[in-house]
Amino acid sequence: MNRLINLMNKNRKLVAGLMSGTSVDGIDCAIVEIEGNGLDTQVKLLKYHNHEISKDLRDNILLACSREHSNVELICRLNFQMGEELAKAVLETCELAGLDISSIDLIGSHGQTIYHIPQNSTLQIGEPSVIVERTGVVTIADFRVRDVAVGGHGAPLVPYTEYLLYRSNEKSIVLQNIGGIGNVTVIPKGSTINEVFAFDTGPGNMIIDAIVNMITMGRLKYDYNGDMASKGSVNKELIEELMRHPYIRKSPPKTTGREEFGLDFSRDIYKRYKGKGLSDEDILASVTYFTVCSIADSYRKWIIPQYSIDEVIIGGGGSYNPLLVNMIREELKLTVKTNEDIGLSSDAKEAIAFAILANEAIHGNPSNLLRVTGASKPVVLGKIVY
């Protein structure tokens, strides 16, 4: 306990944040210097690194996420394998930063989501006990479950950290993350943290990446710069079908994931519309535009009627797809920037978030936002292993 008390009393810490998202495209690790906690939090990024995972591990994770192909032995083994990989990500990033692992005070690990049932149950793997044993660093993990236990969706959790980092008294900011799933956070100018509004807009890169993988027989994991989609035409029938998906019509608070828009969903779309004579490029152009439509539809239904938007900032892997970003600009007719446009890192953003959430947990600060997750009360997120 003395170790935890000393951590709590330490005002300035070096914290490693870990994130492995629904795209399963590697483990993001960010080493940050954090000073203070709560609304006084100050964060400086020291080093970001994406730790590559093997194709076999990625394929097994995707199998574990599938209702048809998953099994308990696979998930059990992957829990420890991911713990090893998460620990390697921290050790690699320390080496690249010229830091000894003993200088790291704390690790915050999101882990890898295997299955998510909003307001019911959620499972993230990546055993924190393994991380602690390999690094010797106090680790906080499994952030979502406490929020679910009090009736919340367990997501999104990043809006708490976005308020700490992006809030402004001069303008209302909308943060649109496009990872595997798309999620949006609205921070009205001069707002309190309890006025933050956020939810998952729908698929981000998930369907796009899955179909690229099918088209290229596994050779490519994503559509670089949107090059393949830019050669196709958007199919109206496919867009209309996708926009009828029940998730698009749900009102916030709401979250989604691979359970609704994963490999099985993507495979069905691809096979049916290939059967209707669409080219690979046309299908890819259409699912890319579906991501844009789901975002724009969310804004028109749930955000624009309530808030004036001064600026939209896009983060996540989708921010590196110029076709996708330009489509969003054209659809929204708003000022749209990327994190890189304002001197921040889209890649590191979510890893930084879990470093901050780990720091909040050590200080005993609740970090779920009731308006965002739908939880019945504020709770401290994360399990501490030391």
The per-residue pLDDT for 353 is: 97
Question: What pLDDT score was predicted for residue 369?
Answer: 97
**pTM score:** 0.94
Tens digits of per-residue pLDDT, 200-253?
999 999 999 999 999 999 999 999 999 999 999 999 999 999 999 999 999 999
Q: Is 90 exceeded by the pLDDT of residue 378?
A: yes
> What is the distance between the alpha carbons of residues 298 and 327, in angstroms, rounded to a whole number?
15
**CA-wise closest residue to 46 among 351, 361, 342:** 351
166-342 has the same fold as 2-156+348-385: yes
Residue 291 near residue 202, CB atoms below 8 Å = yes
> For residue range 148-169, what is the model confidence (pLDDT) as tens digits?
999 999 999 999 999 999 999 9
Pair 143, 157: CB distance under 8 Å: yes
DSSP code of 202?
E
Domain ranges of the chain: 2-156+348-385, 166-342
Using left for φ > 0, alpha for ψ between -120 and 50, and beta otherwise, residue 38 falls in: left
How does residue 68 score in pLDDT terms, banded at 50, 70 and 90?
confident
DSSP for 270-295, please give it.
HHHHHHTT--HHHHHHHHHHHHHHHH
The stretch 100-113 carries a mean pLDDT of 98
Mean pLDDT of 32-52: 98
Determine the Cα–Cα distance for residues 81 and 108; give it in Å rounded to an integer.
18
3-state secondary structure of 260: helix
Its CATH class, for the domain covering 166-342, is alpha beta
Architecture of the 2-156+348-385 domain: 2-Layer Sandwich (3.30)
